[in-house]
């Protein structure tokens, strides 16, 4: 785990990833998710099951 060397140097934006590259520069990359909130899935009402009628075959 790295350690914090400076705070509040970069103004962060939602949906972006910040990292230090090999040369020591702070880089910004857009995240694949985009920093959006997840949507809440709507619950579907349970389906009613109907009893199957069984008929006997006449011989």
The answer to whether position 56 is within a domain reads: no
Q: What is the mean pLDDT of residues 17-22?
A: 86
Task: Compute CA distances 34 → 4, 16, 38, whole Å.
Answer: 25, 7, 11
Is the pLDDT higher at 51 or at 28? 28
DSSP string spanning 19-31?
EE-TTS-EEEEE-
Identify the band that residue 42 occupies on the pLDDT scale cut at 50, 70 and 90: confident
Q: Compute the mean pLDDT over every residue in the chain, rounded to the nearest whole number.
A: 78
Q: What is the mean pLDDT of residues 10-39?
A: 81
The answer to whether position 59 is within a domain reads: no
The answer to whether position 54 is within a domain reads: no
Helices (H) and strands (E) counted in the chain, each on its own, are 0, 2
Number of domains in the chain: 1
Task: State residue 30's pLDDT score.
Answer: 87
């Amino acid at each position: 785990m790295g350690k914090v060397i400076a705070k509040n140097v970069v103004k962060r934006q939602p949906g972006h990833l910040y990292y230090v590259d090999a040369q020591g520069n702070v880089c910004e990359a857009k995240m694949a998710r985009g920093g959006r909130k997840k949507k809440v899935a709507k619950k579907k009402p349970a389906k009613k099951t109907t009893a199957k009628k069984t008929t006997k075959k006449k011989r």
